Amino acid sequence: MQRRGFLGLLAGLGACAACPTMAAADQTQTKGGPKGGMVTFSFDDGLTTQHKYALPVLKSRGLTATAGIIASRMLSGNEDYMSVDQVRDMEKAGWEIASHSLTHTRPINIPKYYSQEPVTGWTSDPSEPQLIQTQYDYDIIAGLYQDDKPLVEMESEAALINKPGTYYYDRSIAELHVHPFRAGNPEDLNIRAGSYQRELEVSRQILTDLGFKISTYVAPYNYWPDDMKETSKYYYSQAATGKDADNRPDSFDRYAIKRFMVHEKDSAASLIRIIRENAQGFGGWVIFCMHGVEENVGWEPYSAEKLGAVANWVLQENIPVVTIAQGTQSMSQMTPKPSAGKTGPQKG
């Protein structure tokens, strides 16, 4: 299905007036956090079931959430993932739109930095002079570029013939074959493999260019090593991961925000217990990490009925529901600010 055309800029994010807001979160501290704590519903991967089920469930109760969008999948035309227009629907409803990377990969599987992107060791293919080949050092190719123009992946080496701007990766022998856009000395063709630094920067740029307000990064697979945490500071105001724990002012790290993973079989009562023990018990900030909703699309799809039951209880208890950006702002007001000093990322 073709994606609909891009619309104009949307209004900025905002909390719904009918629900507990940031003002409600800014209360007298108790047990190391704001009185009663805070709750965030976050949804990873930008799946269409989040638009179909989670959006109406929360909107009908005056609540919002954070949606982590994989930029390339939003633009792919794959019907499992929200289109640009559907993501805009979320933002119009007060949801925060966050980057969940460009292609959804781990930094251990691809180059980490721009400086590590250049692919070297090219030789001409003896049987097809228009093609070049080399050994590739990483497990995954998260995009291949020549002169910053993306090359298109093909299913076989034979498919590259007469198709400049294509590549094939033979994973069985870790051999990369390319039909470059332009000919020349193989070592001077400026071919680069997408890095995690590119995942951080370009995903934000794509979403920003479409008019979305982006300040949060959500780590794919909740995999978040210290070096990428430091790199993310150049591009984002905060970053979220996993850890199955709550966030408290005395240990809060805005670039390693903790979330509780939600599984398909988790009951509403089990999520309520997490909120009661951490948000109400210790004034902590509880963030739930969800993926698919209701239908069997995405990882561990959660029941819309159970989501509604948790939302009802949160409203009944008058616990503030905030986006990740809003919660970070509230927590930062109670947390010593880190020293400044970042001047910009190094690119190669």
Which amino acid, residue 158? A
Beta partners for residue 133, in sequence order = 123, 177
- For residue 63, the model assigns a pLDDT of 98
- Predicted TM-score of the model (pTM): 0.87
Q: What is the mean pLDDT of residues 26-49?
A: 72
Mean pLDDT of 51-65: 98
Q: Parse the chain into domains and list their residue ranges.
A: 31-107+221-332, 118-193
| pLDDT of amino acid 186 | 83
- Structure tokens, 325: 């950006």
Class of the CATH-defined domain 31-107+221-332: alpha beta
Across the range 173-179, mean pLDDT stands at 96
- Say yes or no to pLDDT of 16 above 80: no
pLDDT at residue 346, as a whole number? 62
Residue-level pLDDT at 341: 44
What pLDDT sits at residue 21? Answer: 40
Mean pLDDT over each residue of the chain, to the nearest integer: 89
Rounded to whole angstroms, the Cα distance separating 226 from 38 reads 26
pLDDT(13) > 90: no
Q: How many CB atoms lie within 10 A of CB 98?
A: 29
347 band by pLDDT with thresholds 50, 70 and 90: low
Residue 1 clears pLDDT 50, i.e. is over it: no
Report the percentage of the chain scoring pLDDT > 90. Answer: 82
> pLDDT tens digits for 246-275?
999 999 999 999 999 999 999 999 999 999
Q: Are 232 and 106 in contact, with CB atoms under 8 Å apart?
A: no
| The pairing of beta strand 66-69 with beta strand 38-43 | parallel
Given this model, what pLDDT does residue 15 score? 32
**Rounded Cα distance, 188 and 203, in Å:** 28
The H or E element spanning position 175 is strand 175-179
> If pLDDT is split at 50, 70 and 90, which confidence band does 319 have?
very high
Question: What is the mean predicted confidence (pLDDT) over 135-143?
Answer: 95
Which pLDDT does position 187 carry in this prediction? Answer: 81
